[in-house]
Amino acid sequence: MMREKEERTLSVSVEISARHVHLCQKDVEILFGVGHRLANKRILSQPGQYAAREAVSLIGSRGRIDGVCVLGPTRAETQVEISMTDGYHLGVDPPVCESGNLRGSSGITLKGSAGTVELTKGVICAERHIHMLPATAEYWGLHDGQYVQLHVGGVRGLIFGQVRIRVSPGSSVKPVLHIDTDEGNAAGIVTGNVGVVVWGD
């Protein structure tokens, strides 16, 4: 019985994602100059991903946020991930959706050291999600795209619903929960804390 219980306890490390930008190479060159390549400043938990040295300003109808980190490598489409609190400050109202799904996303202006990009779409609040390897998903009986609940304890303890499982051979070996700063603050947790996946309900 104890063994069964242990096997049903999937602990996940928490990582809080602050506002950030993914850029296509075309936008990198508009923002930072022709031929510019992103420079790796710090590697992230997901293999191949890094925080770049480059930063941009986000300029909305109501406000502006400077010094927003660009993540690399470049992608096919530029995507801006902000919290709803950021959205209120900037004057944009982005949908909550999975990274890469930019239908219905909001526009914004990006400003870099060499130029400006007017996005008509690409701003989202990222759906909370857990990255894991196919082998991990198989072990736990999970599949890509499904939702689970995740419990975190503490003075602001809560159970996040609608946590998307994202299975990829490119994932970190250790499963990682990605939530934004509003979600981290609402739960009173910081990067490095641990949550537990709850099945059922």
Cβ closer to its own copies: 49 or 149?
149
Binding test (CB under 8 A) with its own copies, winner from 143, 144, 162, 173 = 162
Number of residues that bind its own copies (CB under 8 A): 25
Q: How far apart are CB 156 and its own copies at their closest, in Å?
A: 6
Give the bridge partners for 79, in sequence order: 22
Regarding 194 and contact with its own copies (CB under 8 A), the answer is no
Binding test (CB under 8 A) with its own copies, winner from 36, 91, 188, 196 = 188
Task: Read off the DSSP letter of residue 46.
Answer: S
H/E element, 85: helix 84-90
Q: How far apart are CB 90 and its own copies at their closest, in Å?
A: 13
Nearest CA to 106 out of 90, 88, 116, 119 is that of 119
Regarding 128 and contact with its own copies (CB under 8 A), the answer is yes
Instruction: Output the CA angle 76-49-74, nearest 5 degrees.
Output: 25
Which x/- pattern over 53-92 shows residues binding its own copies (rule: CB under 8 A)? ------------------------------xxx--x----
Q: How far apart are CB 26 and its own copies at their closest, in Å?
A: 31
Task: Read off the DSSP letter of residue 127.
Answer: P
Residue 39 structure tokens: 């420079």
Rg (CA), the chain: 18
Regarding 183 and contact with its own copies (CB under 8 A), the answer is yes
User: How would you classify residue 130: left for phi > 0, otherwise alpha for psi between -120 and 50, otherwise beta?
Assistant: beta
Regarding 160 and contact with its own copies (CB under 8 A), the answer is yes
CA dist., res. 126 & res. 85, Å (int): 13
For its own copies, which stretch binds (CB under 8 A), given 4-12, 34-42, 104-112, 158-166?
158-166
Binding test (CB under 8 A) with its own copies, winner from 46, 57, 185, 191 = 185
Q: How far apart are CB 173 and its own copies at their closest, in Å?
A: 28
CA dist., res. 148 & res. 141, Å (int): 12
Q: Write out the DSSP string of 45-84.
A: SSTT-EEEEEEEEEE-SS-EEEEEEEEES--SS-EEE--H
Binding site for its own copies (CB under 8 A): 83-85, 88, 96, 127-128, 149, 153, 155-162, 179, 181-183, 185-188
